[in-house]
Structure 1
Amino acid sequence: MPVRLWDKRCRIFAPLSILHTEKEKAEVVDIGVVQDLGVEFLPNFKNPCWYEARGTTDQHRARLSQITTNTPSSVLRYDKATQSELVLRCLPYFFLIGQPKCATTDIFHRINIHPEVVEPKLKGPHWWTRKRYGMPYTDKPVTLTEYLDIFNATKIGERDETDNATDWANTSPTSRASKRITGDGSTSTFWDSGATMTYIQSILTRYPHQPIAKRLINKRWNSHVKPAEKRMNFTVYEYELRGVVTDKNKDDGSKGVVLPFTVADVIHSVLPESRIIAVIREPVSRLYSSYLFFTKNANLSPKHFDDCVQSSIKKWNDCTKMYSVRTCAYNKTLQNSMKARLYNGLYSVFLEDWLRVYPRKQVLVVRMEDYHTTISTTMAAIYSHLGLRPLTADEEKRVNTAPVRNRNRKKSEIGKMLNTTLNALQKFYHPFNSQLAWMLGDSNFLWKDIQYSLR
């Protein structure tokens, strides 16, 4: 069903009051979708931070995001607060987006060992993809303020050892500098745009004349996209997968929304300078590890895994007979119906959407296998990508000798997958691996060095 995403006659920015009722405004934060953040990042901070009046609420930030450019900056940023009433707030500088069972927990821990990185209270808040929208992920939507509380802004804003204590104390907070950064390690950020798409679609449906889609596309275009991509027609999308899920009672339609926009567009709308680190792994071994780790209430075995894979491949094939590969990869209804999470290994599909939004230089793609083989080399590449200083010998030793986090031990208990399963999965993932290797210009992402060891 064709759906027009915007009307060229409308303004790009719409008042919040037009888009939501008071109750809806209190439930979901529109930052990155309908609104800008409404703050100015501190120019001397490497990490995206700002000062605001203590007790500032999400609704207050929403109002600030609609203040005109003629409003004095003191009001825009601080709401006439005195210096003693200001509190430092920070969003993440980098996103470790990875995939489940790709050593992201271990890598995130080692990133945070670096002296210039401030560890957040939680590795994976999953705010951008899930928690901000509430059910079914959490009882009520997690506010932006609650998300900001995860990041230790006070630590980011502390005086550096190289700063003169007296000069630093006599400097206005807004003029101080900081090289410290912090990050968000939610793996779902890479691939799970279901709630984001559903929410955007609900706005487009209720308010068809509000140019939300045009706003997101303009944000993307103003970044880096090539002229050819600007001619792409985003006015039509597939939004429901009917007939794919066996149990019709579980398909409410809304879970099948697939748009041209992903969570990457929403994050980029707020944080266009973010550094992205995608950690991925040979997809067949990743799927088996995921099965062993996530499958509950089942007698795990190679035969049970084969049954899950075969049924999931059939569902996928049924879907792609009716819809595009991208639509099937993102569709939440199909994802939830699969007993084996095939979609998590479709790296090329998800990465392409990230590279449509962020410049290639801001996106580092890491193979988990290389990380396991040469931890120090891989971590040095990640530190360089984040613009961090080289480690001293003692600091590097601490990184290299840190205990391994979140290791899966079930494989040794049930053995390798069946050869029939292996062959089916390698055939399934081959075109996606080929596309990924071409996209990155690196044949290592064909994983030929890994596939033989799986047998």
Structure 2
Amino acid sequence: SQIRLSPSNRTNDGVSSLIKFVTPLYTGDRNNFTFDNAHMYPCSQPNGRVPGGIEDLMCIPRPNYLPGLKNPCYRKESEDLYCLPYYHVLGFDKSGTTDLSSRLTSHPSIMKCNAYLGKEIYYWGWRRYGIFVQGPIKVMTMDEYIYAFRDAAKNLNDKIDKTNQPIVGDGGPVDGWDFRAWDKDPQNQGLTEPKVLTPHHVRHILRDPRFIFIMREPADRLYSDYFYLMHGNTP
């Protein structure tokens, strides 16, 4: 991948962010071009699920994505259209990811997903492991993650033959850095350091993924997060 750095951008709330756009260099067949790494980290569970209800994503075959669609989508036997995100906004708390996602989805060709603020699913780093801010939660499956793009899939299905096809993204920022649950993945069982992390799973499942990673000046970000989490409240 090629990394292009944009100049610092200032959002409406004064957040100064450095945005990294990661764009692929590949110019050939874009339907399933990202090398599938599943054989390097083989499926370890015959039923695809490890004890505790966590899915082994390496047991889930990569979808056979439809050619000619910008957004990665595929059909099942029912002929219904299913879609996954075209891009992923990543970053740290209070770095401007919500502002950027809001600006992106204000474009008529970029759709929101069915999630908090129309962007935050928290699947890859948290919910697929059954963890969240407030503590343990019900494990989210890959099917449930795909369901978060159901409205986008319906919209795309209605415009599948159009030249100007819309896209949809995932704006869960923690998926880019919070790998605390790595020891729950079966490929990491018994290891003291992880062999498989979120990027390996994303690479296996998604076609030609694109990432926008936002960073903010560390002291400003920490100060903002301190008050956002109400640590700065005093009598």
Whether TM exceeds 0.5 here: the answer is yes
Q: Does 1:17 align with 2:46?
A: yes
Partners of 1:46 and 1:178 within 8 A in 2: no
Is the radius of gyration larger for structure 1 or structure 2?
1
Q: 2: CA distance between counterparts of 1:191 and 1:42?
A: 30
1:132 aligns with 2:128: yes
Q: What's the CA shift for 1:272?
A: 4.8
CA distance in 1, matches of 2:53, 2:88: 25
For 1:86, what is the secondary structure of its paired residue? coil
Structure with the higher fraction of residues in helix conformation: 1
Name 1:283's counterpart in structure 2.
218
* 2:91–2:213 contact (8 Å) kept in structure 1: yes
Match of 1:192 among 156, 178, 203: 178
Question: Quick one: which amino acid aligns to residue 42 of structure 2?
Answer: F
> 1:51/1:19 Cα in 2 relative to 1: closer, same or farther (>3 Å)?
closer
The code of the aligned residue for 1:190 comes to G
After the TM superposition, which parts of structure 1 deviate over 6 Å for at least 4 consecutive aligned residues? none
CA distance in 1, matches of 2:112, 2:183: 32
- For 1:142 and 1:108, the matched residues in 2 are separated by 23
Do the aligned partners of 2:63 and 2:205 also contact (CA within 8 Å) in 1?
Answer: no
1:97 and 2:90 aligned = yes
What is the aligned counterpart of 2:72 among 17, 40, 48? Answer: 48
Q: Where does the alignment leave 5 or more consecutive residues of structure 2 unmatched?
A: 1-38
CA 1:146–1:288: 2 relative to 1, 3 Å = same
Percent of pairs with identical residues = 26
1:393-404 mapped onto 2 (5 Å cutoff): none
* TM-score under structure 1 length normalisation: 0.38
Residue pairs, 1:259-408, within 5 angstroms:
259=194, 261-296=196-231, 299-300=233-234
CA displacement at 1:46 relative to structure 2: 0.8
* Residue 142 of structure 2 corresponds to residue 144 of structure 1: yes
| Helix, strand or coil at the partner of 1:157 | helix
Corresponding position of 1:154: 154
3-state DSSP class of the match of 2:95? coil
Query: What is the TM-score with the length of structure 2 in the denominator?
Result: 0.70
Between the aligned partners of 1:12 and 1:109, the Cα distance in structure 2 is 36
Is 2:92–2:214's contact at 8 Å kept on the other side of the alignment? yes
Using a 3 Å threshold, how does the CA distance of structure 1 residues 180 and 294 change in structure 2: closer, same or farther?
same
Give the whole-Å Cα distance in 1 for the aligned partners of 2:210 and 2:40. Answer: 31
1:27 to 53, 63, 80: 53
1:232-262 C-alpha deviation (Å, 9 max, x unpaired)? xxxxx7x3xxxxxxxxxxxxxxxxxx42543
Q: Which structure 1 residue ranges, 5 or more long, are not aligned?
A: 1-9, 53-77, 79-84, 164-176, 207-236, 240-257, 302-455
Query: Secondary structure at the residue paired with 1:146?
Result: helix
The SS at the match of 1:97 is: strand
Out of 87, 107, 114, which is 1:114 matched to?
107
Higher strand proportion (structure 1 or 2): 2
For 1:19 and 1:146, locate their aligned partners in 2 and report how far apart those are by CA, in whole Å.
15
Q: Compared with structure 1, are the counterparts of its residues 115 and 131 closer, same or farther at alpha carbon in structure 2 (3 Å cutoff)?
A: same
Larger RCO (alpha carbons 8 Å, 6+ apart): 2
Indicate how the Cα distance of structure 1 residues 107 and 135 shifts in structure 2: closer, same or farther if over 3 A, else same. Answer: closer
